[in-house]
Structure 1
Amino acid sequence: MDFVIFILAIGALIVGADFIVNQSERIALHFNISEFVIGATVIALGTSLPEVAASVAASFNNKPEMALANAIGSNIFNITLVLALIFIITKNIKPNRDFFAKDTTWALVPIMLFIIMSIDGHIGRFDAILLLLLMSAYVLFLLNDAPVLENEAIEEIKQEKYFNWLKTIPLLTVGLILVVGGAHFTVESASGIATDFGISDRVIAIVLISFGTSLPELVVSISASIKGKVDMAIGNIIGSNLANITLVIGLSALVSPNPIAIDLTIKTTIFDIATMTVATIMLIYITANKLYSKPAGISLLILLAIFLEGTYQSIQP
């Protein structure tokens, strides 16, 4: 029964996030905010809502290990699965944006900051505030760096995204209810599954929950790639990964009654953080050399296989 509830809860998270993203996009367009800013902020942050909701719910329910594992696991899946599939499925990837020069530093800095914060064995509220400030800095960077759309372009997009307050507000409300409710039941059912199979909350969170909450990034990015919007697809991954470390861990630490404990002497913890770091370094290498190709995608899938095999070995008696 827990597994059925888990699937339904993940579905509620994804549908709720989709409602919020779509209606937020319409609001942004109504106020003449450019499509680039919408894609880099609203969509990237919107597709991270399931991770945020699930981790905050886990932390609020005194399951900090699950909150942390979800954030780390989502970052790993976003790069090694979502980005890998984009490279494998899409032909002739030629982004207009120089991701290496402008964006990949923002993917690595929060991870380095997180590792430094972890040395003392916990993530407290002060650390959380610093992480949230870093996310704010990234949003400001995007706003300052964003190209301005011509009025004709804005009007054209507006016609495609018809705006109506009477429709938008109810859908936003439903989206928020689905995300909050879905997050609660995701955590509760995942804990039940962990108990039934005698495995840790960490394994459930880093595999099942993180994969499930990464589905919005998977759907949005692959859909954007098929439509030829590779800038949006890759930007969504970078923005979402930044949000996972800054927003997900930051908000989880803020609502947690106690600092989130991180034991760097445990092999599984080191393995998870190391895999996330290696995946991010591979992302930087790929963008620096513009290796947007199938071999790069296969290399990322190999790292995913190593991660899953290592996680499986960690639960063996």
Structure 2
Amino acid sequence: MWLLFLLIGLMALSAELLARGVEKLNMGLGQGMASGVVLGTLTSLPETIVVITALLEDKGDVALGSAIGGNIVLLTLGIGLVGLVYNFKWKDELRMGGDYSHELGVISLSTLFLAVVYVYGRLTPLTSLPLFALYGYYLLHRVRGRNESGKRVSPVSVLEILGGGILMLILSPLFVGQLEKLSLSLGTSDTYLAMILTPVVAELEEGVSALRLAMRSREGGSSALLSYFGSKIQNITFLLGLVGLISIPVRGPYLLLTLISNVLGTLVILDGKLGKLESFLLSLSYFLLISFTVHYLP
């Protein structure tokens, strides 16, 4: 138990470093580049590594699950928790700042294309090309729009982001292991662990850093959500593009749940506001989606 508390303390420290670094980087690069691309890419690194490793080992199902699982968690429960924490901390609804329409546009286009792929039933090298193109378009737009404030990027901010991110990547698997041991010792079922607990803690490094951003400043809530969208855009474009190179069927429930999660997360943020009720319902939707999967799908 003491190890679990030690890990929580160290993860809080790494989240603080990440949040401080992103705040400073926002001033030099703008919110879209700092939160959407830099932090989003860093926090999606675990999925990227798992997907590439699984593809090299010819484990297509593992690669597919790793690429899309995070969207189901973070675009429902993740956004909802950030909204609830923000409302509790600042006694106000979360308001998106800066230019976030690009992220919403890209994730909407990606979702529409993946809906066509779902009907078709397979990810193939041919479907990978538009996915790679969408990710390239997303990056190109953000790179061209960087340094919106004209301020120089602080080297300290880069070190804080790298230090906090690397520490979080190291600590997260250890924390997952300890949490699973604790749950099993309390008699938690394997199904609960596999379908509800494990996906949540697998996205832990993104969730913790986003929550800390939302608590540090009023502008941090917007940066937190943008980091979610940035990392999940990478997952459903670049990573699914890689999965498509080996050609794999996608008629199962998980891509469908991903599409639903994408739509829910996008619609809630569309007006630039996130209140308590929306946050609660979005958090609840995660457990409803998972319950539906467990009880009604094969």
TM-score of the aligned structures, taking structure 2 as reference length: 0.71
Pair 1:69–1:234, CA change in 2 (3 A): same
Structure 2: how far apart are the matches of 1:286 and 1:118?
23
Deviation at residue 220 of structure 1 after TM alignment: 1.6
Distance 2:115 2:36 in 1: 25
State the match for 2:225 in structure 1.
234
Shift of 1:218: 0.3
Runs of 4+ in 1 over 6 A off after TM superposition: none
Amino acid at match of 1:115: A
Q: RMSD of aligned C-alpha atoms? A: 4.1
Deviations 1:290-310 (Å, cap 9, x if unpaired)? 441111111112211112212
Compute the displacement of 1:126 (Å): 3.0
Match of 1:189 in 2: none
1:129 maps onto 2:111 in alignment: no
**Conservation of the 8 A alpha-carbon contact between 2:77 and 2:285:** no
Match of 2:255 among 273, 281, 285: 273
The answer to whether the 8 Å contact 2:71/2:232 transfers is: yes
Counterpart-to-counterpart distance in 2, 1:311 and 1:243? 25
Name the residue aligned to 1:34.
29
Tell me the distance in 1 between the aligned counterparts of 2:132 and 2:199: 21
Instruction: Tell me if structure 2 keeps the 8 A contact 1:253–1:259.
Output: yes
Query: How many equivalent residue pairs?
Result: 262
Higher mean alpha-carbon deviation, 238-247 vs 64-73, is at 64-73
Q: Aligned with 1:236: secondary structure?
A: helix
Q: Which amino acid aligns with 2:66?
A: N
Q: Please tell me whether the aligned partners of residues 51 and 214 of structure 1 are also in contact (alpha carbons under 8 angstroms).
A: no
Q: TM-score, normalised by structure 1?
A: 0.68
Percentage of matched positions with identical amino acids = 17
User: Displacement, 1:162?
Assistant: 7.3
| Secondary structure class of the residue paired with 2:270 | helix
**What is the match of residue 264 of structure 2?**
282
Which residue is 1:259 aligned to?
Answer: 247
The answer on 1:82 being equivalent to 2:83 is no
Q: Secondary structure at the match of 2:148?
A: coil
Return 5+ residue gaps in structure 2 as ranges.
1-6, 178-189
Q: Tell me which amino acid in the other structure corresponds to 2:204.
A: L
**CA deviation map 1:111-133 (0-9, x unaligned):** 22122234333212232233122
Confirm or deny: 8 A CA contact 1:135 1:246 kept in the other structure: yes
* Cα pair 2:118 2:255 within 8 Å, conserved: no
213, 225, 244: which one pairs with 2:202?
Answer: 213
CA contact (8 A) 1:64 1:261 kept: no
